[in-house]
Structure 1
Amino acid sequence: MNKDSIDFKLSAEEIGEFVLNMRTVAGLTLSQLAGLIKTPEASLRKYEKGQSRPHESRIPGLIERIRNVVKEEIRRNRDGELSYSERNGRGHSRKRRTAKAN
C-alpha cells in the first residue's frame, strides 16, 4: 500500500499517539526529532498532546519523514552504530560500553 492510497483523516489524538510512539521507539527527544524532520519543536509538542494536527495535505509527508528517521535509528541500533544522542555527545558510546564489558 503506498502513501497515496492511505486515508489520512486522522484525529489530533491519533497523530499525537503516532508521533509519541515513533519518537519513543527511536529513543529521541522531542527536540532531536524536530531537528531531524525539520519541523518546529512547538508543533510536535502540540501534536503529541493532541492539541493540534498538521493540515491534511502535510500529514503524509510528516508521517513519511518520521518513519524514515525511526527506521534509520533502529537500523543504527541493530548494527551497533552510535545513536543520535551518542553521535551528538549526549550519551555513552557503544565502544566504551563494549570495552568495559570485556
Structure 2
Amino acid sequence: MGYLFLTLAICGELIGTNLLKASNGFSVLWASVGALAAYGVCFYFLAIAMKTINISVVYAIWAGVGIVLTAVLNVVIWRESLNIPTLLGLMLIVVGAVILNLYGPGH
C-alpha cells in the first residue's frame, strides 16, 4: 500500500506544480487555490507512504519521478524545450533513485 500512497503523492505534486505555473505568481485565484490543495494532498499521501517505506527511498522516488514527469509535462503542456544537459541531469536523477531503491537502507 505504501507505493500506492507514494504514487498518489507524486500525482498531487504534478498537479500542484502545474497549477503553480498556471497561477502566474499566485495572480490567478483558481490555479493558486488548486495548487495549494494539490500540495496538501501530496504531502498527506507522502506522509502516509513513509509509514511503510524507508524515508530515503520515498523521498528519492518522489523527487526523482516528480522531476522527470514535471519535465515531460513542461514540454507537453507549457511548450518549453529541453536541452542535452537537462536530459543528462534527468537521467542521472533516475539512475540515483534506482540505485537508492535497489541498494539503499533496508536492502
User: Which structure's CA Rg is the greater one?
Assistant: 1
Q: TM-score, normalised by structure 1?
A: 0.39
Q: TM-score, normalised by structure 2?
A: 0.38
